[in-house]
Structures are given as structure tokens and as C-alpha cells.
């Protein structure tokens, strides 16, 4: 069947194109203006489901102000093998962090930090570039 290599090639081209697109979006977002954000709350949430089980991560909500209006977003911390204790949430709540915001669409944001509390920040950089989406 000669069509199978064509499908595989098309998939590879699509995957590479998507990766390049995401890399360009992150690069542009790193040059957006910065503002200060405050972590408002956090909880353990289910962020993925599969036939092997569910993935629960600590997810945090934050807010920031631009031009007199408040906006918000969410991010998770990776890796977490077990559920974090309450001390993580009490340490994080009220914490200040820097966030880049899109000057054309203030609700779009990007966190420049890569690590908080020794864990990688997980944020969606998808079509809307605006938040972490737990399932």
C-alpha cells in the first residue's frame, strides 16, 4: 500500500509545522510587556484522563491588572507524584509573579518563569495563548 508513507509524511509535516508555530508564539510572547500578577488560589485538579488513570496536579489561579481592568489565568506545577499538602497552597497564595500580556489582547498572557517551588510551570500555549485548561 503506497498511500501509507504519504499519510505518515503528512502527519510528520503537520507535527513539525505545529511545533514551529508554537515556538514562534512563545518567542513573540516573551517580548510582550510585563506586569505583576498575584496567585489567588490553588487546588489539586484532574488535568488529564487516559486508559491508565487520571493525572492530578496542583493548579493555581492568578490575576493581573492592565489599563484598570483585571484579568486572570491558570497554570499547573509539574511533576507531582503524590498530592501536595496544604502547605504548598498556603505558600503560593498571595505570591507575586511576573506575567507577559498581549498589548493587543490583554487577556492573553504568558508566564516567563520556568520553575516555581522546584517544579516546572505547565501552561498551555495553544490557539488562544491564554490559560491552562484542566479537564
| pLDDT mean for each 10 residues of the chain (135 residues) | 76 76 76 95 84 85 95 85 78 93 91 82 58 44
> Which cell numbers hold the place of 124?
498551555
pLDDT at 134: 44
Cα–Cα distance for residue pair 105/89, rounded to 1 Å: 30
Cell numbers for 115: 520553575
Whether residue 79 has a cis bond before it, omega within 30° of 0: yes
CB burial of residue 109 (10 Å; 0-12, 13-18, 19+): buried
Per DSSP, the three-state class of 31 is coil
pTM assigned to the model: 0.75
Amino acid at each position: 500500500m503506497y498511500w501509507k508513507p504519504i499519510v505518515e509524511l503528512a502527519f510528520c509535516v503537520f507535527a513539525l509545522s505545529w511545533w514551529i508555530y508554537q515556538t514562534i508564539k512563545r518567542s513573540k510572547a516573551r517580548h510582550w510587556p510585563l506586569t505583576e500578577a498575584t496567585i489567588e488560589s490553588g487546588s489539586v485538579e484532574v488535568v488529564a484522563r487516559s486508559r491508565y488513570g487520571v493525572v492530578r496536579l496542583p493548579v493555581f489561579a492568578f490575576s493581573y491588572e492592565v489599563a484598570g481592568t483585571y484579568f486572570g489565568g491558570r497554570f499547573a506545577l509539574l511533576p507531582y507524584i503524590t498530592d501536595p499538602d496544604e502547605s504548598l497552597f498556603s505558600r503560593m497564595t498571595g505570591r507575586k509573579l511576573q506575567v507577559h500580556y498581549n498589548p493587543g489582547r490583554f487577556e492573553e498572557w504568558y508566564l516567563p518563569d520556568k520553575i516555581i517551588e522546584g517544579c516546572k510551570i505547565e501552561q498551555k500555549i495553544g490557539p488562544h495563548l491564554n490559560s491552562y485548561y484542566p479537564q
